[in-house]
Amino acid sequence: MTQRLFACLLVLSSCICAQHRVDSQNLYQRIICVVPMVGSGTPSDPKRPQYAPWPPSRSRAGIIAFSHQVSDDGQHALVEFIALDRSAFQAIFNDKSIKVFEKGKDNIGDVVNELKKYIP
């Protein structure tokens, strides 16, 4: 009986260890958008994309990360914002001047066509 129990536990533990980790690109909510650059360029007010959190916060309630590429004219930034939940993007969704693409919901071709307007 003990040998069977040990064998069952061994088989089950091998199944648990065989699970793959979720790719970090799929863990959080992500949006891609083009936003204006804001800030004066001083240490206390650096140039950054609009809606990018400044100063950085330890709270994980809002936008927790972003990456951006400044457009050729320097007036806009192509940005990927990352948050734990979709509600952190509410201010961006409410801004009708910004075209927002959600990862996994929008067609990649539409995203590329919109971004090409800013970086040839």
Q: Side chain identity at 40, as an amino acid letter?
A: S
Q: Which of residues 15 and 80 earns the better pLDDT score?
A: 80
Q: Which helix (H) or strand (E) holds 26?
A: none
Q: Rounded to two decimals, what is the model's pTM?
A: 0.76
pLDDT at position 56, please? 75
Q: What is the mean pLDDT of residues 98-114?
A: 89
Please tell me whether the peptide bond between 36 and the residue prior to it is cis, using omega within 30 degrees of 0: no
Handedness of CA 99, 103, 37, 115 (dihedral sign): negative
Q: What is the mean pLDDT of residues 39-44?
A: 90
User: What is the full DSSP assignment across 63-108?
Assistant: EEEEEEEE-TTSSEEEEEEEESSGGGGHHHHH-TTS-EEETTTS-H
Q: Is the pLDDT score of 4 beyond 90?
A: no
Q: What is the mean pLDDT of residues 51-65?
A: 84
